[in-house]
Amino acid sequence: MRSRLTVIVPAYNEAGSIADTIRSIQAQTLTAEEIIVVDDCSTDATGMIARACGVTVLRPPRNTGSKAGAQAFALAHVNTDLTMAIDADTVLAPDAIEKLQPALDDPNVGAACGLVIPRRVSTIFERGRYIEYLFAFTFYKPIQDLYEKPLISSGCFSAYRTGILRSVGGWSARTMAEDMDLTWSFYQAGRAVRFVPEAVCYPLEPHNYHFMRKQLRRWSHGFVQNVRLHWRGVIQEPYLRTIVAVAMWDATVASVAYLIVLPVLAVAVSPVFLLGYLLDLPAVLVPVLVKAVERREVGLALASMPGFLVQRVLNGLFMLQA
């Protein structure tokens, strides 16, 4: 069965993963009308591999400089009612499009996003991200979806109404987090965004500090850029104002407490204050285990909790830098 949807895959030097991504899109129970790979002037065989897979390959006259730029370049070539964007290192569950597309039947919904689970969970960085995703997509996202306003429609796997996407200007390179920028632009235009946990994707997450540092810098600075860019619109929407305030609290006050206050108190007063690092673990562990039981990954989740502690420290460091 074919959908009324075009999939855009921005790619720069993704020869090692692009074929897996394309094959996962082609194998969908609800197939796309067209798959467009944007070979953003790669210096490897990305374009050649994509063409061999039988999809449309576009190559800009020069590198666009960002994922947003590559996606915007492809948007002009989309002729379907719906547009989907998928990262070139992400594969989809076989029914991901079929599960996600019905959320866009509502004409006021501008975007819909799915559940994100790391494809590989081996290194401490991948394990930390695995727990972070299980928690966020099991606890935060469903609550946000009740208001039809997830904080972000994930850039690695989201679908959009093409007309609404174009009406807000499409993807912009004005921030380092184009997916958050686009999501908040939808809200300021009075549009809804939905989260569909049954639609699952599996991206490759940073496996070492070098790649994690680059990603966290982009995410943390992008968040601050978007708060500055959209704050006038955010403060007029009570729900958005609340979730952004909570996010800012966690990014600043909680990070200072986690990285500075607790260690100082442990040294100056008593080592007992180190127990503060464990206080929030039960709150994180419960929703994580709920999802882990569903996915039959309880052992993996428990073994990955130390990685989450490392991830919390890194998140705090980069948010304070931003």
Q: How much is the pLDDT for 208?
A: 96
Q: What is the pLDDT of residue 272?
A: 81
Q: Along the chain (322 residues), what's the average pLDDT of each consecutive run of 10 residues?
A: 87 97 98 97 97 97 95 96 98 98 96 97 96 93 91 96 97 95 94 97 96 94 91 78 77 72 82 76 88 95 92 84 77
Q: Say what the pLDDT of residue 2 is.
A: 65
Instruction: Mention the CATH class of domain 5-206.
Output: alpha beta
**What integer pLDDT is reported at residue 257 of this predicted model?**
74
DSSP SS3 for 64: coil
Q: What pLDDT, on a 0 to 100 scale, did the predictor assign at position 259? A: 73
User: What is the model's pLDDT at position 3?
Assistant: 67
pLDDT at 275: 77
The reported pLDDT for the residue numbered 68 is 96
Residues whose CB is less than 8 angstroms from the CB of residue 264 and which lie 6 or more positions away in sequence, other chains included: none
Q: Hey, is 40 helix, strand or coil? A: coil
pLDDT at residue 1, rounded to an integer? 61
Query: Is residue 22 a contact partner of residue 100, using CB atoms and an 8 Å limit?
Result: no
Quickly count: other Cβ atoms within 10 Å of residue 304's Cβ: 24
* Amino acid at the residue 84: M
Alpha-carbon gap, residue 199 to 97, rounded angstroms: 7
Which residue matches tokens 């919390």? 312
The whole-number pLDDT of residue 51 equals 97
Chain-centre distance for alpha carbon 189: 21
Nearest to 315 by CA among 251, 243, 264, 224: 251
Q: How far is CA 219 from the centre of its chain?
A: 10
Stated pTM of the model: 0.91
